Amino acid sequence: MDREKYQQLVETFFQWDQSSIIAIVQELLSAAAAEDSQPAMPVMSQNYETAQANPEIHLLPGNLKDARDAIFPYFWGTDSWNSPLHLENVRGPANHASLIGAIACLLKNPNLCTDRYSQRSNELEVKVITALANLIFYHIEDPWGIFTIGGTVSNFYGAKIGIERVLPGAMQKGLCGRRVVGICSDASHYSNRTVAGWLGIGTEQLIEIPTDESLSMRLDVLEQRLDELYSQDAVVAYVVATFGTTDGFGIDDVKGIRSIIESLARRHGKIVPQLHVDAAVGWALTFLTEYEISDNPLSFEPAVLNTVSSIQNACLGLKAADSVTIDFHKMGRGHYPSSAFIVNRREDLRYLSRSVFDTPYFSDADPRRDPALFSLECSRPGLGPYSVMASLNAIGLNGWRMLVARSLELAMRLKSALGKLEYCRVLNDKTSGASVNWWVLAKGRNADQVFEQLVAGELSAEQRARYFAEIRRLFDKRDKMKDPTKDARLGFTTSYGYHPHGISIPAWKAVFFNPMTSDEMVDQIVSSIEDLG
């Protein structure tokens, strides 16, 4: 080996050339800033065949500019979602405090599985998890948890604890031929089906409970189905409540669900299933739990203040949960991945624990702390704790309250304006959150009347198909007609979460996660609908 060339390689890629690194980062920042001055980026054409046919790895060692050049076309071709006109889904722009945290993490690159590979970064994770747990569970004594690679994996943890709770030793012995079931609402995220399939209980053993019009799980049906399942000798491992459905921001009655599962389990002599809450979307509402409504120190509008009161009641119900999923990269506007799985009681992690004998790679792991002894992953990045701690403390509690309240304010503004158009119907007007789902029908139709006929079962299959096609056609028409400099990019869902008579209902969708979205942009949504003719 040519030692001189080897040394040059090491100096280029493993020693700190601060001037070169800073120059390239400045170029990337300039490109990102330039993008922000443009309209919301359209989806660029992608040529996967070319990408696969030309996997290009240079033969000779280069320099850091080669690294920049290799990724820049894809960097420029990826939308940062910083535009305030991006309203189509539960994603907002990443805040800059989170960026500082993420950069700090990348410079150290800790693996959070053990203290040996993370040192004080593990301590940071404990601090952040405790801060979030005190928001979610409202000041508890001994919470614990970890950051994961996404909300699906966090839900996976909750379900797995449930299986181990009701079938001790399933980690080693499997399900032993038992019928094991999980329960969620039919408005919950599809990741629940993913989890049921990957855990091996089977997607057909995931029992979906219908919701009411507010997208909240019907407790009467839950009680009935639980009674039936126990009578059939099914093993009910877990119940997933949703705190903020992905499309319509529906919130389940967590306290009411707790009362039912405890009562039915006791009646049938069964172990109480795990009550896991998927709060990936709605967790940020907990910033408002202790807001002083009477004093109103941040001068919230009266309509928002009324909503805060109902939100606080819902948030206090989270104390009844055994575990929870949050996605800080959604309403927390953090960087991916910043999902967390948090248990209400640290002792519940025993259901996932294994010994050092089972993890020879981490032979020095400490069972009192090291997540490697209970986590699914052997490699966990520190981006979550770093970006979340930076965001929480830079923006501050009152800053977060203002961000959440502004999202509520914008959603309420759109709901109110749409409600004045006879041919529009707001579908999730009974939910308190940052999302709006609605219908647009042809002018001259009464959308409320059509919806009521649908719920009453008075529409034939042909009539439903015609109305649903009309809703989609008008959405597509607006999408083609929109001015990208002033018209928001909206979303469309084929099923917003309410299923009367088992029917999936399509909807237009707007999600107000971008703090730069203005009142005028909301008003323009309504104007663009009126212009459809």
State yes or no: pLDDT of 492 exceeds 90.
yes
What DSSP state is assigned to residue 201? S
State yes or no: pLDDT of 235 exceeds 80.
yes
Cβ–Cβ < 8 Å for 145, 198: no
| The amino acid at 196 | A
Q: At what angle do helices 120-136 and 383-418 cross, to 10 degrees?
A: 30
Query: For 409-530, CATH number?
Result: 3.90.1150.10
Q: Is 445 helix (H, G, I), strand (E, B) or coil?
A: coil
Lowest-pLDDT range of 34-38, 161-165, 203-207 = 34-38
pLDDT of res. 292:
96
pLDDT tens digits for range 17-57 = 999 999 999 998 998 888 877 776 666 667 777 777 777 78
pLDDT tens digits for range 451-470 = 999 999 999 999 999 999 99
Q: What gap in Å lies between CA 450 and CA 60, rounded to an integer? A: 67
Asked whether the whole model's pTM tops 0.75, one would answer yes
What number of residues does the chain have? 533
pLDDT of res. 45:
61
Angle at the Cα of 161 from the Cα atoms of 314 and 287, rounded to 5 degrees: 25
Query: What pairs with residue 240 in β-bridges?
Result: 276
- Cβ partners under 8 Å of residue 375, min gap 6: 113, 146, 352
pLDDT of res. 116:
84
CA distance to 114, 363, 370, 375, per residue, from 367 (Å): 10, 11, 6, 12
- What number is the average pLDDT over the span 104-125? 89
Looking at the chain, the whole-number percentage of residues with pLDDT higher than 90 is: 78
pLDDT of res. 40:
67
pLDDT tens digits for range 384-440 = 999 999 999 999 999 999 999 999 999 999 999 999 999 999 999 999 999 999 999
Q: Is 365 helix (H, G, I), strand (E, B) or coil?
A: coil
Q: What gap in Å lies between CA 514 and CA 507, rounded to an integer? A: 21
Lowest-pLDDT range of 50-64, 148-162, 331-345, 433-447 = 50-64
- What number is the average pLDDT over the span 256-275? 98
How many C-beta neighbours within 10 Å does residue 190 have? 9
Cβ–Cβ < 8 Å for 137, 143: yes
Q: Which residue has the higher pLDDT, 139 or 532?
A: 532
pLDDT of res. 139:
76
How many C-beta neighbours within 10 Å does residue 198 have? 15
pLDDT of res. 38:
73
Q: What gap in Å lies between CA 357 and CA 258, rounded to an integer? A: 37
pLDDT of res. 60:
86
Encode 224-256: b = buried (16+ Cβ within 10 Å), e = exposed.
ebbeebbeeebbbbbbbbbbbbbbbbbbbbbbb
- What number is the average pLDDT over the span 478-504? 96
313 burial type by CB count under 10 A (0-12 exposed, 13-18 middle, 19+ buried) = exposed
Cβ–Cβ < 8 Å for 299, 402: no
Query: For 112-400, CATH number?
Result: 3.40.640.10
Ordered by start, the domain boundaries in the chain are 3-80, 112-400, 409-530
Query: What pairs with residue 206 in β-bridges?
Result: 182
Cα maximum dimension of the chain: 82
Q: What tokens were used for 19? A: 């001037």
